[in-house]
């Protein structure tokens, strides 16, 4: 009985060994042809660049919002009813242009009195002007008669005095007219909303017949001839951000960065964010208030590896580049990227100086493929 059990165990062990051997043989027969497959060769030419760590400009990046350089918020000086509105949002206006008119009982009375005063002053001015002209002509005529010894000196002096009185009356009438004109203008200013600058109406909150309050802004005009972007910078960079320095601003949808210049640095540091305000004057076109942009401040140089942006290939969540080894075979190498600037991408890790990166012709590249025609060596 014991002998039969030993034989059974022996037979089972032999069968197990035979099965494992057969399985390995079958697997080996499948793997062997794959290992003998020929290396794929790239059909098209590729271009490579040898990367080197070199000094490059280092930038501090932050975000900001575009604003018009000059924004005028116009508010009435008196409370009253809107009697006329001449503009709407989006209209272009000129400095001194009347945007709306406001009136109440008090303003109407003052306006009527000022207009009456001006008319009275104009009539007085006309009378004084005629009297002055008459006395001037009379004085000249008497002066000629005196030269001809036709009249006495006393008569000439009397006429000259009348002439001087007429001149004084004229000057007095002129001053009265100027005062009346100024009074009318003052009343008109109180009853009219006038744009102090040329630009675009960006906001209007009053309508015909509505009541407005004194000192409450109802119309906003922005000078669209000049814009700036406001951003906050870390307090540690206070010594590196100076008025007049050139910066770059990137906007979504715009390929080329826009040049800017720091126009104002507010020295006060915000206690909550530990940052300070910087205002940058922009020189580009097609700007609008409210645009969001990324501002790059040059803060010095550091050694870094840069590759063309076209060389960086994303595969799902992976980011990498194709490199070429000494045997002219290309491999996909995972890298960690940094900032992008001037068409270049900073490689933080994954590459070292002296390696060749494929910058063109990666369309059919696969790991281990053999490069054919190579340029850039």
pLDDT given for residue 120 in this prediction:
76
Q: What is the pLDDT of residues 161-176, one digit of tens each?
A: 777 777 777 777 777 7
Residue 122 pLDDT grade (very low, low, confident, very high; cuts 50, 70, 90): confident
All structural domains of the chain, each given as residue ranges with its CATH number in brackets, are 46-55+305-375 (2.40.420.20), 61-68+223-301 (2.40.30.170), 71-204 (1.10.287)
Instruction: Please state, as a whole number, how many other Cβ atoms lie within 10 Å of the Cβ of residue 209.
Output: 9
pLDDT given for residue 105 in this prediction:
54
Distance of CA 307 to the CA centre of its chain: 29
Q: What is the pLDDT of residues 24-54, one digit of tens each?
A: 344 333 333 344 456 788 878 889 999 888 8
Look at residue 266 and tell me whether its pLDDT is greater than 50: yes
pLDDT given for residue 25 in this prediction:
40
Query: What 3-state class would DSSP assign to 148?
Result: coil
Distance, CA of 303 to CA of 57 (rounded, Å): 9
pTM of the entire structure? 0.52
Distance, CA of 219 to CA of 212 (rounded, Å): 11
Average pLDDT over residues 242-251: 90
Classify the phi-psi angles of 195: left when phi > 0, otherwise alpha if psi is within -120 to 50, otherwise beta. beta
Look at residue 340 and tell me whether its pLDDT is greater than 70: yes
> For residue 24, what are the CA distances in angstroms to 20, 29, 32, 33, 152?
6, 8, 12, 15, 152
Average pLDDT over residues 291-316: 88
> Where is pLDDT greater, at 4 or 219?
219
pLDDT given for residue 277 in this prediction:
93
Partners of 320 in the β-ladder? 313, 334
Query: Helix 153-191 vs helix 105-147: angle between axes, to the nearest 10 degrees?
Result: 160
pLDDT given for residue 86 in this prediction:
93
Average pLDDT over residues 119-123: 75
Distance, CA of 73 to CA of 52 (rounded, Å): 55
Average pLDDT over residues 174-187: 68
Q: Give me the residue label for tokens 């089972």.
A: 12
Instruction: Please state, as a whole number, how many other Cβ atoms lie within 10 Å of the Cβ of residue 218.
Output: 22
Q: What is the pLDDT of residues 75-104, one digit of tens each?
A: 988 788 888 999 999 899 999 999 998 875
> For residue 40, what are the CA distances in angstroms to 217, 329, 364?
73, 10, 10
pLDDT given for residue 112 in this prediction:
62
Residue 322 pLDDT grade (very low, low, confident, very high; cuts 50, 70, 90): very high
């Amino acid at each position: 009985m014991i002998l039969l059990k030993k034989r059974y165990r022996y037979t089972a062990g032999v069968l197990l060994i035979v099965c494992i051997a057969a399985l390995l043989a079958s697997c080996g027969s499948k793997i062997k042809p794959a290992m003998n497959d020929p290396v794929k060769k790239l059909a098209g030419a590729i271009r490579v660049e040898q990367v080197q760590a070199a000094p490059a400009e280092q930038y501090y990046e932050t975000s900001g919002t575009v604003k018009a350089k000059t924004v005028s918020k116009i508010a009435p000086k008196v409370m009253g009813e809107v009697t006329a509105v001449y503009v709407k949002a989006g209209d272009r206006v000129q400095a001194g242009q009347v945007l709306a008119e406001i009136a109440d009982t008090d303003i109407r009375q003052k306006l009527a009195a000022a207009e009456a005063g001006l008319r009275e002053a104009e009539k007085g001015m006309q009378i004084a002007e005629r009297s002055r002209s008459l006395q001037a002509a009379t004085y000249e005529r008497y002066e000629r008669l005196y030269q001809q010894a036709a009249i006495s000196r006393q008569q000439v002096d009397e006429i000259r005095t009348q002439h001087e009185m007429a001149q004084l009356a004229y000057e007095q009438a002129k001053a009265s007219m100027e005062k009346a004109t100024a009074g009318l203008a003052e009343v008109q200013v109180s009853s009219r909303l006038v744009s102090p600058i040329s630009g675009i109406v960006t906001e209007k909150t009053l309508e015909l017949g509505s009541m407005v309050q004194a000192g409450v802004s109802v119309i906003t005009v922005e000078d669209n001839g000049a814009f700036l972007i406001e951003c906050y910078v870390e307090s540690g960079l206070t010594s590196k951000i100076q008025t007049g320095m050139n910066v770059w601003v990137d906007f979504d949808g715009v390929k080329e960065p826009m040049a800017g210049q720091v126009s104002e640095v507010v020295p006060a540091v915000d206690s909550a964010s530990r940052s300070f305000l910087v205002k940058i004057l922009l020189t580009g076109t097609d700007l609008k208030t409210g645009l969001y942009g990324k501002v790059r401040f040059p803060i010095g140089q550091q050694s870094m590896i840069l590759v063309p942006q076209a060389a960086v290939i994303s595969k799902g969540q992976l980011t990498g580049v194709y490199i070429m080894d000494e045997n002219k075979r290309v491999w996909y190498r995972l890298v960690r990227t940094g900032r992008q600037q001037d068409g270049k991408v900073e490689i933080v890790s994954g590459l070292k100086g002296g390696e060749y990166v494929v910058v063109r012709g990666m369309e059919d590249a696969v790991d281990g493929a053999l490069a054919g025609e190579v340029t850039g060596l």
